[in-house]
């Protein structure tokens, strides 16, 4: 992967594709594109991209099928789908099939750049920081989602690595609400069940702590949230 983030855009409307290409090049991305679904999928499966932007309606195969096929190969590939306006079904479909985010057409270009940048940041696929070291006994490759914990090989989910990367960036206690907003991407956390956060934290502790019941690195600070201690990237 080059230092510049590389995008793949699969979009069959020439004017939109041209606009998006110019937009992201202006913002410092390398951009590759396809206008056909099957060609887009082939490129997605054979290249390395910081993020893939998929239109839904495409010639040959649609964006959902592409998304699904990419997910068979990679859980970590960031994917944003461009859905039709107000098509709730599209959004649910896309997220079920593993898209990380979506934006409804017509969208604001600045919003799109923000979303894509956030996805790349959260994925840990930006820059060269592919490794997290926690204490003396745990190391994680944030790109491959694998690592070594106490001399054992360990596999991580993308969500787990994203949580760790985010906590590491903050260097301060992070509340459950903030995690739901920043890692899960929820806009409002008012009616959400924060137990999903706790469940993920418990899973991570099993992988990185010597004794998960008495965490030394991923600690809970009562009333404040979670903090990751002695982690370096
Ligand atoms: Ca289209």
Final residue in a domain of this structure, among 123, 147, 167 = 123
CA of 107 to the centre of ligand 1 (A): 14
Within this chain, do residues 111 and 169 fall inside the same structural domain, yes or no? no
Residues 136-176: tens digit of each pLDDT:
999 998 877 899 999 999 999 888 988 998 899 888 999 99
Does any domain span residue 209? yes
For residue 47, the model assigns a pLDDT of: 83
Closest CA to 94 of 61, 134, 54: 54
Question: For the domain that residue 22 is a member of, what is the CATH number?
Answer: 3.40.50.2300
Residues 62-96: tens digit of each pLDDT:
999 999 999 887 777 899 999 876 667 777 776 77
CA of 99 to the centre of ligand 1 (A): 17
Within this chain, do residues 136 and 224 fall inside the same structural domain, yes or no? yes
Within this chain, do residues 189 and 148 fall inside the same structural domain, yes or no? yes
Within this chain, do residues 27 and 116 fall inside the same structural domain, yes or no? yes
How many other C-beta atoms lie within 10 A of the C-beta of residue 105?
A: 14
Final residue in a domain of this structure, among 123, 143, 162 = 123
Give pTM, 2 decimals: 0.58
Backbone angles phi, psi at 167, to 5 degrees: -60, -40
Closest CA to 50 of 2, 107, 12, 11: 2
Burial of residue 74, with CB atoms counted within 10 A of its CB: 0-12 exposed, 13-18 middle, 19 or more buried: middle
Final residue in a domain of this structure, among 123, 156, 185 = 123
Q: State how many domains the chain has.
A: 2
CA of 80 to the centre of ligand 1 (A): 14
CA of 42 to the centre of ligand 1 (A): 18
CA of 110 to the centre of ligand 1 (A): 20
């Amino acid at each position: 992967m080059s230092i510049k983030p590389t995008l793949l855009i699969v979009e069959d409307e020439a004017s939109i594709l041209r606009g998006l290409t110019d937009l992201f090049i202006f913002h410092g991305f390398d951009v590759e594109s396809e206008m056909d679904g099957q060609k887009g999928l082939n490129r997605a499966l054979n290249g390395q991209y910081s993020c893939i932007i998929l239109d839904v309606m495409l010639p040959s195969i649609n964006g959902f099928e592409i998304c699904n096929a990419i997910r068979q190969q990679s859980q970590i590939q960031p994917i944003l789908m461009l859905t039709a306006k107000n098509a709730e079904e599209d959004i649910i479909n896309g997220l079920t099939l593993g898209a990380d985010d979506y934006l409804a057409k017509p969208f604001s270009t600045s919003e799109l750049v923000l979303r894509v940048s956030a996805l790349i940041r959260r994925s840990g696929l930006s820059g060269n920081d592919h490794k997290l070291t926690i204490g003396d006994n745990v190391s994680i490759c944030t790109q491959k989602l694998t690592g070594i914990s106490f001399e054992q090989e360990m596999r991580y989910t993308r969500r787990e690595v994203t949580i760790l990367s985010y906590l590491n960036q903050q260097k301060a206690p992070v509340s459950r609400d903030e995690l739901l907003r920043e890692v899960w991407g929820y806009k409002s956390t008012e009616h959400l069940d924060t137990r999903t956060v706790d469940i993920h934290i418990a899973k991570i502790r099993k992988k990185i702590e010597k004794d998960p019941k008495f965490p030394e690195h991923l600690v809970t600070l009562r009333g404040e949230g979670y903090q990751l201690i002695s982690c370096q990237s």
